[in-house]
Chains A and B, each alone.
Chain A
Amino acid sequence: MTDALPLLVVIPLFAALFPVALGYLWSDAGWATAAVTALLHLGLASVVAQQVINSGQFSYAVGGFQPPIGIELVADSVTAVLVVLISVITILIVAYARRAGPHQNAFYSELLLLTAGVSGVVITGDLFNLYVFLEITGLATYALVAANRSPAAALASVKYLLVGTIGASLYLLGVGYLYVATGTLNMADLAGQLPAVGYDTPLVVTGFVLLMTGLAIKTALFPLHTWQPNAYAESPHSVTAYIAALVSTAAAYAIFRITYTVFTTSFASVVPLALDALAWAAAISVIVGSVLAVVQSDLKRMLAYSSVAQFGLIIAGIAVMNEIALTGSLVHLVGHAVMKAGLFVAVGGLASIAGGQTIDDMIGLGRRAPIVSLGFATLAFALVGVPPAIGFAGKWQIVLGAVSAGHWAVGVVAVISTMLTLAYFLRIVERLYFRSPSSVDEQTSDMSMNMTTDGGDAMATSISQTTRVIVTLSAISAIALGLAASDLISILEPALEVYF
């Protein structure tokens, strides 16, 4: 059943044609196609995961051309965990978008293109193929950010496109340098060829720096994050939740693959400066991202800066080149995707009844929307790293690994980031529960209630059922994943042991 592997990309890519093609005949074509495809994707992902758990790593030669000449798709346990994550997030977002919109068939085509792109990034074993999938992901994301027709979103999308394309092109240039050095593009083959060329030759080191810079732009590490807050804040809620959960995750996964599969730990011991620099850049990203998150008043912008910080932590864990820290990074990568998707859906729900998405709009919502507020608070504390949630498991492993690898700075930064994360989430939780609306606010909320009974549609009186279910589900899974963290680690371990 190795055929399931290419189908993970082929099916969403092919299905992306239907919403546009059938949209003129049937207005619900987009949603129906996306829902069926997401379920199919989950089925295929579980087949792949089953195969990996039963018999370990396997690969598929695209078009029957044997690697290293042909393109190879590889599945190991890290891939398996991530494809299942992609399917689950896709299903949740498709369910959420049914009510929350955007209500256009083109939106679902773009969503499915994005699913194909991130699935491709996760399963490919070829550097140039990875570039193509990164660009498919990018193109779909640029279109999705501008999906709600607002001019501010279009502007944010153009900026994202300019910066994102420069990132992808730098990545391509890095691939070119490695190709010139070795004459191969296959990741496993490159790992064998690079030592012969010499890890410390300028060509190889420059190639590494270009690849990492390109991917750091896509991951949105400080100071290459400038595209990200606008893109997250201006896009529709369902789009923000989807891209916050998967797009940066795919880029961070690519950083992991290239550092470990292509360059391996021996590169780190020959050129320690390269990875130390990456670890430092990531650590600075953690601090600056958290501080910028604390000073934001727009909730979505705050969560966007929070992503800058969390991905800094993940990349730092990858760059310290220690097995425990790497496991922690991958656990946090998965956990972060689940928590951020839930948080953005919760913000979408809360904003729909509050009529705004600044933190002062959240005052007193704990009583008006108890379920979603509780979900938001749970996810917030999970991301801070309160045990037993998944955020704790990931951060704990990163700190442990960083300290045992002698990278004290990363360990300290991770602990500081936890406190800063608490700082920016406490502001929201306090407003949700512990601050009663002032008399002026009460008057306006009375007025808004009158407006809604008069038939105004700007503000909903209650949050939709699907939003409540999705937020509750992601809060429960953040805790369940945390309780099952040791199982998750034992699934990931066989794929990571080979690197050390």
Chain B
Amino acid sequence: MTPIELFTSRYSYIVFVALVGIGLYGVINSSNLVKKVIGLNIFQVGIFLFFIASGYVNGAAPPLIEKGAETAYASPLPHVLILTAIVVGVSLTAVALALIIRVYNAYGSLDEDVIREVQLND
């Protein structure tokens, strides 16, 4: 497979790798707690994309079974799994933001380095 074919036919996997990389970089590199949570969300979305792309069948119909019709269907299972994973991701973000509000109220900053200084001064 030439690189061009790779880009035209497997682009969703390239996007998946890019999103996972960008997300992880955001979590590790940013010292702002909210930006870390945003990075985490991008990271998770990358993984969701991988699952959803894996259920796609070239030229297939959406998985709505009609009487008598015998066409190929996209696999619904990965989509359902990711529906669950999205719910998990939303609850995690909610908990993270709730905790960050408490951190902000106590230290007056969202920046990890500033918070560390405040902790040392106490």
Chain A positions within 8 Å of B, measured between CB atoms, are: 128, 131-132, 135, 138-139, 142-143, 146, 149, 151-152, 154-155, 157-158, 161-162, 165-166, 169, 172-173, 176, 179-180
Contact = CB atoms under 8 A, between A and B. Distances in A.
Contact of B27 (A149, A155, A166, A179): A166
A161 B85 contact: no
Contacts of B95: 139, 142-143, 161
Interface stretch (B3-11, B40-48, B64-72): B40-48
Contacts of A161: 92, 95-96, 99
B107 A162 contact: no
For this complex, into which size category does the number of interface residues on chain B fall? 20 to 34
A149 B88 CA distance: 24
B106 A169 contact: no
A154 B88 contact: no
Interface in B13-53: 20, 24, 27, 33, 36-37, 40, 43-44, 47, 50-51
A227 to B, nearest CB: 13
B81 interface: yes
> Which 8 pairs from chain A and chain B are nearest by CB?
A151-B106, A154-B102, A135-B88, A158-B99, A154-B99, A154-B103, A180-B54, A173-B47
- Residue among A132, A142, A172 facing the most chain B CB atoms (10 A cut-off): A172
Given A142-B95, A166-B43, A176-B50, A158 B100 contact: yes
B92 A135 contact: yes
Contact of A151 (B33, B51, B84, B103): B103
A158 B107 CA distance: 14
B88 A132 contact: yes
B81 A169 contact: no
A179 B78 contact: yes
16 contacts: A142-B95, A149-B102, A154-B99, A154-B106, A158-B33, A158-B100, A158-B103, A161-B92, A161-B99, A162-B96, A166-B24, A166-B40, A166-B43, A172-B47, A176-B51, A176-B78
A184 B76 CA distance: 13
Nearest to B81: A128
A155 B115 contact: yes
B107 to A, nearest CB: 6
Given A146-B102, A166-B27, A172-B85, 19 more contacts: A128-B81, A128-B84, A132-B84, A139-B91, A151-B103, A151-B105, A154-B99, A155-B103, A155-B107, A155-B115, A161-B92, A161-B95, A161-B96, A165-B40, A166-B40, A176-B47, A176-B51, A176-B54, A176-B78
A180 B13 CA distance: 13
B99 A157 contact: yes
Contacts of A173: 20, 47, 50
A132 B44 CA distance: 14
Contacts of A154: 99, 102-103, 106
Contacts of B88: 132, 135
A236 B99 CA distance: 16
A162 B36 contact: yes
Contact of A169 (B44, B54, B99): B44
B58 interface: no
A366 to B, nearest CB: 33
A50 B12 CA distance: 50
B99 A146 contact: yes
B2 interface: no
B121 interface: no
Contacts of A166: 24, 27, 40, 43
Contact of A162 (B27, B78, B103): B27
Contacts of A132: 84, 88
A158 B94 CA distance: 11
Contacts of A180: 54
A278 to B, nearest CB: 22
Contact of A142 (B51, B78, B81, B99): B99
A155 B103 CA distance: 6
Interface in B68-122: 78, 81, 84-85, 88, 91-92, 95-96, 99-100, 102-103, 105-107, 115, 119
Contact of B40 (A149, A155, A162, A176): A162
B109 to A, nearest CB: 11
Contacts of A146: 99, 102
Nearest to A135: B88
